């Protein structure tokens, strides 16, 4: 994908063409079963590009960011000096839209205008228009299919993130209104050991039981940053990495070790009832 993009951009820039005007290349539309809050949150979240969209972006370095949007230096995948670019995204909630511009590098001058229209409580429609400067007509179809395919994939990935986050937020809201259970049997020790890593639900939260050294410990399956799923994150030397923005956590201390200010939520304490040879989860304190 990155090489095709580079090649197309090279041909475009060196093709003979009148003027510098932006040509409308294509429109991508899609209905998404999420609300506008999740969509806006996703648009201004520059950090997820090289993690959630790792097959499209390999690197990002923010220059400035805020509620207005962000400006960052990014690279396509695989990273090379030929596919770096400075991108700027500006969100305008009053017009239900954000505009992404390529300020320099690969695809300089390209603009992508996205409108997000609420249809129902948890349903929106996104309408994405792509504009490319100095586009010779013989390249228009190539650009159109490239953008459509890339945005279909980006929105598949974003939808996974936005829908899972909403599910986690709903679960948290529900947990606040129900009574706390103090302990939960996870089963016979031999069966539990045979089924590790073992996922379980306790007080409306999801956890995973793993073995570290010769100790059984539980950890939350919800990342403290934006509730990303830690379900399938590999644990290497007691460290796991969240798939959405790459924050890393030490499971023993629960601390974030990749530099961000957050910490894993406490998980239930794991006790082995030696009389019954049973594994029991006890509600965490604080």
Nearer to ligand FES, 128 or 256 (CB): 256
Place of tokens 């129900």: 178
Which segment (13-21, 146-154, 199-207, 223-231) binds ligand FES by CB under 6 A?
223-231
Q: How far is the CB of 129 from ligand FES (least distance, A)?
A: 29
158 interface partner picked from ligand FES, Fe ion, none, CB below 5 to 8 A per type: Fe ion
Helix (H, G, I), strand (E, B) or coil at 127: strand
For residue 91, the minimal CB distance to ligand FES (Å) is: 19
Sign of CA dihedral 259, 264, 265, 266: negative
Residue 219 or 245 with smaller CB distance to ligand FES: 245
As a whole number of angstroms, the distance between CA 221 and CA 215 comes to 19
74, with CB counted inside 10 A (0-12, 13-18, 19+), is buried
Q: Work out whether 47 is an interface residue with Fe ion (CB under 5 A).
A: no
Instruction: Judge whether 47 and 60 are in contact, CB under 8 Å.
Output: yes
Binding status of residue 49 toward ligand FES by CB under 6 A: no
Which of 168, 217, 247, 251: binder of ligand FES (CB under 6 A)? Answer: 247
- Using CB under 5 A as the binding rule, whether residue 158 contacts Fe ion is answered as yes
Q: How many CB atoms lie within 10 A of CB 52?
A: 22
Stretch that binds ligand FES, among 67-75, 83-91, 129-137, 244-252 (CB under 6 A): 244-252
Which one, 9 or 47, has the nearer CB to ligand FES?
Answer: 47
Length of the chain: 286
> Closest approach of Cβ 221 to ligand FES, in Å?
11
In whole angstroms, the minimum distance from the beta carbon of 234 to Fe ion comes to: 23
Nearer Cβ to ligand FES, position 238 or 246? 246
Count of residues of this chain found to bind ligand FES when the rule CB under 6 A is applied: 8
The CA–CA distances, whole Å, from 76 to 3, 107, 182, 286 equal 9, 11, 49, 42
Contact 268, 283 (CB under 8 A): yes
Smallest separation, CB 56 to Fe ion (Å): 9
Number of residues forming the site for Fe ion (CB under 5 A) = 1
Q: How far apart are CA 98 and CA 170, in angstroms?
A: 27
Q: Which two tokens stand for residue 7?
A: 């090649």
Gap between the Cα atoms of 171 and 179, Å rounded? 14
List interacting residues with Fe ion (CB under 5 A): 158
List interacting residues with ligand FES (CB under 6 A): 223, 225-226, 228, 242, 244-245, 247
């Amino acid at each position: 994908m990155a090489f095709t993009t580079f090649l197309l951009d090279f041909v475009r820039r060196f093709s003979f063409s009148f003027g510098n005007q932006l040509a409308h290349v294509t429109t991508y539309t899609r209905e998404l079963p999420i609300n506008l809050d999740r969509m806006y949150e996703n648009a201004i979240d520059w950090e997820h590009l090289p993690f959630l969209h790792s097959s499209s972006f390999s690197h990002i370095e923010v220059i400035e960011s805020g509620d207005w949007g962000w400006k960052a230096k990014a690279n396509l995948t695989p990273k090379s000096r030929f596919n770096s670019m400075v991108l700027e995204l500006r969100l305008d909630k009053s017009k239900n839209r954000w505009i992404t511009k390529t300020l320099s590098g690969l695809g300089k001058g390209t603009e992508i205008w996205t409108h997000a229209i609420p249809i129902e409580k948890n349903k929106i429609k996104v309408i994405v228009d792509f504009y490319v400067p100095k586009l010779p007509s013989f390249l228009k179809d190539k650009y159109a299919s490239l953008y459509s395919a890339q945005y279909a994939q980006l929105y598949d990935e974003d939808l996974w993130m936005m829908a899972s986050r909403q599910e986690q937020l709903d679960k948290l809201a529900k947990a606040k209104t129900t009574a706390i259970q103090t302990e939960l049997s996870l089963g016979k020790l031999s069966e539990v050991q045979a089924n590790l890593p073992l996922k379980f639900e306790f007080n409306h939260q999801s956890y995973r039981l793993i073995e570290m050294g010769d100790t059984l410990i539980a950890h939350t399956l919800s990342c403290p940053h934006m509730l990303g799923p830690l379900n399938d994150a590999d644990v290497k030397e007691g460290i796991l990495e969240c798939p959405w923005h790459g924050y890393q956590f030490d499971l023993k201390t629960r601390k974030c070790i990749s530099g961000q200010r957050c910490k894993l939520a406490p998980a239930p304490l794991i006790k082995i009832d030696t009389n019954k040879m049973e594994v029991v989860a006890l509600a965490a304190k604080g």
